[in-house]
Chains A and B, each alone.
Chain A
Amino acid sequence: MNLILFTFIVLLGFTSYYFGRKKAYSIQSTKKRLTALPQFYGYYLAIWCAIPAFIIFSLWAIFEPTIVKLLILSDYSNQGYLDDELNLIYEKTKALSRGQFTGEITPFIKASAEKYLSLRSIAQSSKAVIVLSIIIASVAYAYKRISSNSRTREPVEKFLNAVLFTASLAAILTTVGIVFSLIFQTIDFFKVIPLFDFVFGTHWYPAKAFVRDSSEALDPTMYSDTFGAVPIFAGTFFIAFIAMCVAIPIGLMSGIYLAEYASYKVRQYAKPLIEILAGIPTVVYGFFAALTVGPFLKELGTSMGLEVSAESALAAGGVMGIMIIPFISSLSDDVITSVPQSLRDGSYAMGATKSETIKRVIFPAALPGIVGSILLGVSRAIGETMIVVMASGLAANLTLNPLESTSTITAQIVVILIGDQAFGDPKTQAAFALGMSLFLVTLCLNIVALRVVKKYREKYE
């Protein structure tokens, strides 16, 4: 039904385009000058036809379910049902009306289902009528306004401009969406678990927070020593640190080599090859870390008499480091190449060797940009999920031994949210609180890094 109506609106849009243009031609044939190309008359009419209709159509689609639900549930008001129970009744009603209901059919539900069906059909037909009458009204209005000296190009272009502007808001909306999706669950979480316990607690056992019934859910004493995020934060930064220990030296040195030493040919092949590393999906790295690197390190450790966990922080961090190499190398390569040649010339003319020029002139000049790229790398390491989920442990140990297993923010989010979630549950909320902290940390890192890099670019452009 919706689809038919939708297609109908689109078709009507095209027709009105045709009529608009036709009217323009007929005005032209009377030897009057048009103020815009005939197409614009078409666009003008088409916009007037489709846009009001679409607005009504989408508003209807958004509000119809809520209103129907309210109407259905109004029969059950004053009967002392809880919100959850009312929701259940509504779900049952819907299922029954679709004929998918399995279970005992009470007369109440049956009545509701019938009411639901009739409401829906009323809604559908009134929607069609309203949308069509809107189309007729607005097209008639617009058609009458078209004349030889009416302006059509300006309104059409203004409309397009508005569309473009709206599209550019998408990025802001996404950010708002992220904050919105995180903040409510996070606030609910901190209503039950004190912020202090979360930030300074050293025990993280979300599995303990298994809720048996809803009366327990809001009892804070249940969760003492359950949601202390220190081991998680420590693990996150520890693994990121290991990753950067691998990525910074290798990435930076290869960036420098590619920018300053490599011949055109070597650069041509080596650069894209290294960048392949950046294109490999992280789940593949995770598999590699879990299947190859973890067991390899374990065996290596055993042969040296060390006890290495098969899911050691070292394996996850090391592989993560490999993943970050290309980010650092290509960013620092860019930064170094953008150092002006005149500085190199000045240094070479003084009789400096290449490495002296790099270490004493280019590197200090490029330092802000390089720091920026490293910060972006750290932000990636902190936000990386799949490698840790697959290769590092899921138990949150508070340790600084790279051979033991630790867990990270991202891994815990996945562990908690994989499978079914109940939204009122502190465990689910904990995942969102972790997500919030992850978002804030990476946001700060990104803002600082992007600023530093931007400042640096401006300096040499």
Chain B
Amino acid sequence: MNKNKEQLLNKRYKAEKRFRLYGQSAIFMALLFLTVFIFKIFSTGYSAFQKTWLIVPVTFDAELMMLEQNPSKEDIQDADYYDIALKSMADLDPNANEDQENELKRMVSYFFEKEIKNELLNDPSLIGKTKEVYLTASDDLDQVFKGNYPRDLPEDQRRVSDYQLKIFDQLVANGKVESKFNISFFTNADSREAELAGIASSFMGSIFSILVCLMIAFPVAVLAAIYLEEFAPKNRFTDFIEVNINNLAAVPSIVFGLLGLGVLLAIFQLPRSTPLVGGITLSLMTLPTIIIAARASLKAVPPSIREAALAMGASRMQTTMHHTVPLSMPGTLSGTIIGLAQALGETAPLILIGMVAFVNTIPGSPMDPAASLPVQIYIWAESAERGFVEKVSACIMVLLGFLITMNLFAQIIRHKFEKKWS
């Protein structure tokens, strides 16, 4: 009997250990996913913050540029740079035939003409002289230089030819290839060319959408929360509103996209693809989140405060506006920021209202067509070019940076300003 008991006890302790281990491995798995995830994004994305430049000697030949003697600023502006641009690329290999000259041209971005022009605009005295100019390398060479390109593939499966690689390696050997911080990633709008594509347009799109969303969702949600928590009579209608809010918080985001499409675009005829419509759609989605947070923090204000104010002869409206609402603000604000962070990461509804359009200008107002950061991620992720992979990851890093900052901010507001009622 006693031995049996001993055995049973052993078994029970083993079961205990096993169960504990399950728990630990579950936590471990979840954290492992997170680590792999973050590692993968960072390891593919960090290189996008560097950009590869080819240093190419350019001869600013006035004749080729069709420039007269002593040209004015306007003349320089209107001059023809295509020929000298082509020539300077072709000069990289004096023995190149016509096909090879074409390949040489494709080693830099199609923007190279403009880069040369800017060089001359900055310093008009260069006419007739030769200067080494930094030209944006093509996205494939950019990837080659960063070591992301499978050079050992057979030539016909590569977008970079053996010839281009040969010239490129020569340039590298001569120190004529340089990697610098990629400013254009932050200042350029989207582009079909990976080496020129930037996040400025989608970033502004996101900012405008979030602002519209904030301006609509925050006041409405706070007012609704005040009504429901402080003034609403307890009846079936209020219960119905409450159930409605809770359900709305769990409705899939894509349904809000359909709402935006079916009502905002089709019926109200608001302009497609704009942050205005995106922001309104997102605000409907964030509304329940903010209402729930605001109600929770209103509820946390102890009734004694309200009673104290009412006993002083303040009306209910005054009590609410002077005491309860200000005291609940920290919780409401942090809930709002969290709701906005969710909205900032939302993609599907924006796709449906057309914010997935290719936009190569930076929007100046919420009425201009734009993409948003998450949609930009989607657009680039669907592109075939290898150069976009690192761009996607970099864009994700920017987006995650924003989300983390917002969440930290919400935490700080909550911990710093929220009163703890005991």
Point out residues on A near B: beta carbons under 8 Å.
Answer: 153, 157, 160-161, 163-165, 167-172, 174-175, 177-178, 180-182, 184-185, 249-254, 256-258, 260-262, 270, 273-274, 276-277, 279-284, 286-288, 290-292, 322, 325-326, 329, 353-356, 358-359, 376, 379-380, 382-386, 389-390, 410, 413-414, 417-419, 421, 423, 431-432, 435, 438-439, 442-443, 446-447, 449-450
Contacts and interface: CB of A to CB of B under 8 A. Distances in A.
B256 to A, nearest CB: 8
Contact of B378 (A157, A386, A446): A386
A290 B392 CA distance: 12
Nearest to B317: A157
Contacts of B244: 171-172, 175
Given A174-B248, A257-B26, A383 B255 contact: yes
Given A279-B341, A353-B12, A383-B253, A358 B19 contact: yes
A439 B255 contact: yes
Contacts of B407: 279
Contacts of B374: 281, 283-284, 386
B345 A281 contact: yes
Contacts of B403: 279-281
Contact of B232 (A168, A252, A292, A383): A168
A175 B399 contact: no
A290 B227 CA distance: 45
Contacts of A262: 27
A336 to B, nearest CB: 12
Given A170-B224, A253-B23, A287 B241 contact: no
A359 B393 CA distance: 43
Interface of B: 12-13, 15-16, 18-20, 22-27, 29-31, 33-34, 37, 40-41, 44, 219-221, 223-224, 226-228, 231-232, 240-241, 243-248, 250-259, 261-263, 266, 284, 287-288, 291, 315-317, 341, 344-348, 351-352, 356, 374-375, 377-378, 381-382, 389, 392-393, 396, 399-400, 403, 407
A177 B224 contact: no
Contacts of A279: 341, 345, 403, 407
Contacts of A157: 315-317
Given A253-B23, A257-B27, A356 B378 contact: no
Given A168-B223, A279-B403, A270 B245 contact: no
A253 B227 CA distance: 40
Contact of A254 (B26, B228, B241): B26
Contacts of A417: 257-258, 261, 351-352
Contacts of A287: 377, 381, 392-393, 396
B352 A291 contact: no
Contacts, number: 262
Given A281-B403, A287-B396, A385-B348, A442 B251 contact: yes
Given A178-B251, A274-B27, 6 more contacts: A171-B224, A182-B255, A257-B24, A273-B31, A286-B381, A354-B19
A277 B400 CA distance: 11
B356 A276 contact: no
Contacts of B24: 257, 261
Contacts of A383: 251-255
A134 B38 CA distance: 61
Contacts of A270: 27, 31
B259 A253 contact: no
A359 B291 CA distance: 36
Contact of A450 (B20, B26, B246, B315): B246
Given A171-B245, A281-B346, A291-B389, A446 B23 contact: no
A432 B250 contact: no
B248 A171 contact: yes
Given A172-B244, A177-B263, A386-B347, A435 B258 contact: yes
Contact of B34 (A182, A252, A277, A359): A277
Contact of B255 (A160, A326, A438): A438
13 contacts: A165-B227, A171-B244, A171-B288, A253-B27, A283-B347, A288-B37, A329-B30, A356-B15, A417-B257, A417-B258, A443-B247, A446-B247, A449-B250
Nearest to A65: B269
Contact of A353 (B13, B266, B287): B13
B49 to A, nearest CB: 18
Contacts of A249: 26
Point out which of B241, B254, B258, B378 has the most chain A C-beta atoms below 10 A from its C-beta: B254
Contacts of A177: 259, 263, 284
Contacts of B251: 178, 383, 439, 442-443, 446
Point out which of B30, B226, B256, B315 has the most chain A C-beta atoms below 10 A from its C-beta: B30
Nearest to B217: A170
A408 to B, nearest CB: 10
Point out which of A254, A379, A447, A449 has the most chain B C-beta atoms below 10 A from its C-beta: A254
A261 B26 CA distance: 13
Nearest to B350: A283
B345 A253 contact: no
B33 A256 contact: no
A281 B399 contact: yes
A442 B22 CA distance: 31
A160 B374 CA distance: 39
Contacts of A358: 19
B20 A442 contact: no
A284 B27 CA distance: 22
Given A325-B30, A384-B252, A181 B263 contact: yes
Given A257-B24, A432-B262, A438-B255, A322 B247 contact: no
Contacts of B25: 253
Contacts of A292: 40
A283 B356 CA distance: 13
B22 to A, nearest CB: 5
Given A254-B23, A261-B23, A417-B352, A283 B261 contact: no
Contact of B227 (A167, A353, A354, A450): A167
Contacts of B263: 177, 180-181
Contacts of B345: 279-284
A153 B316 CA distance: 12
A450 B247 CA distance: 8
Given A174-B248, A182-B258, A283-B378, A253 B22 contact: yes
Nearest to A423: B266
Nearest to B252: A383
B287 A414 contact: no
A271 B407 CA distance: 15
Nearest to A385: B348
Contacts of A170: 220-221, 224, 287
A325 B266 CA distance: 38
Nearest to A420: B354
Given A177-B263, A256-B23, A280 B287 contact: no
